[in-house]
Amino acid sequence: MKYKMFFAGSGGQGTLAMGQMIAKAAMHEGKEVTWLPSYGPEMRGGTANCTVVVSDKPISCPLINEADVLVVMNLPSLLKFEKMVTPGGLLIINSSLVPEKASRDDIRVLEIPANEKATELGNDKAANMIMLGAIIRETSVVRPETVYDELAVMFTGRKEKFLPMNRKALDLYLH
């Protein structure tokens, strides 16, 4: 079992956090993981992406040549990274911010209107949690219960009041 995943969006969309949630949950399930962000002189609104590898065996390289799962949060990410997906792999698109369709027909494509759904739930910022639920349902890379635990750890203290809403967002496409 080895998942090579790539998450792309813009700063502030929670793209890196999505990848981290999966990496942390997988680690707590006893799997080997690496999480590698792009870094540079970046800011809110700039590009943000990360590579996550989850495996049963030690991971030699945290960089990937192609992705089994690609998650795109905005249009520039789709245009730039669509070619990365392994034939037969999975592309998950945040259709709220991506007005175009995927151009490939040799991969599985799933469109999730994440920002619209998050706004309906009362907080646009939860779009990444909505995507996360869909990713987990489609890939089974980690178990829902492990992610619930991670979510509870992430939203503690002053952030605890955001937990119920994020849990709702996560659950929307999880089951």
Partner 1 sequence: MSKVLMKGNEAFAEAAIRAGCKCYFGYPITPQNEIPEYMSHELPKAGGAFLQAESELAAVNMAYGAAASGGRVFISTSSPGLALMQEGLGFICSAEVPLVALNVSRGGPGVGGIQPGQADYIQVTRGGYNGDAKIPVFAPAGIQECVDLIYECFDIAEEYRNPVLILADGMMGQMMEPVELPPHKGITPVDKISQEKPWAITGTDSHEGRNVIYSLRMQPEVLEKHVEKLFEKYARAEKELTRWNSLSLKDAEVVFVAFGTMSRLCAEAIELLGERGIKAGMIRPISLWPFPDKAFDELDKSTRLVISAELNMGQMLYDVKNAVQGRVEVGLINRTGGVVPSSLEIVERTLKLLEETK
Binding site for partner 1 (CB under 8 A): 20, 23-24, 27, 32-37, 39-41, 60-63, 65
Shortest reach from residue 60's CB to partner 1, in Å: 4
Residue with Cβ nearer partner 1 (32 or 149): 32
Burial 107-140, CB ≥16 within 10 A → b, else e: eebbebbbbbbbeebeeebbbbbbbbbbbbeebe
Shortest reach from residue 62's CB to partner 1, in Å: 6
Residue with Cβ nearer partner 1 (38 or 139): 38
Residue with Cβ nearer partner 1 (33 or 169): 33
Shortest reach from residue 32's CB to partner 1, in Å: 7
Shortest reach from residue 40's CB to partner 1, in Å: 7
Residue with Cβ nearer partner 1 (41 or 88): 41
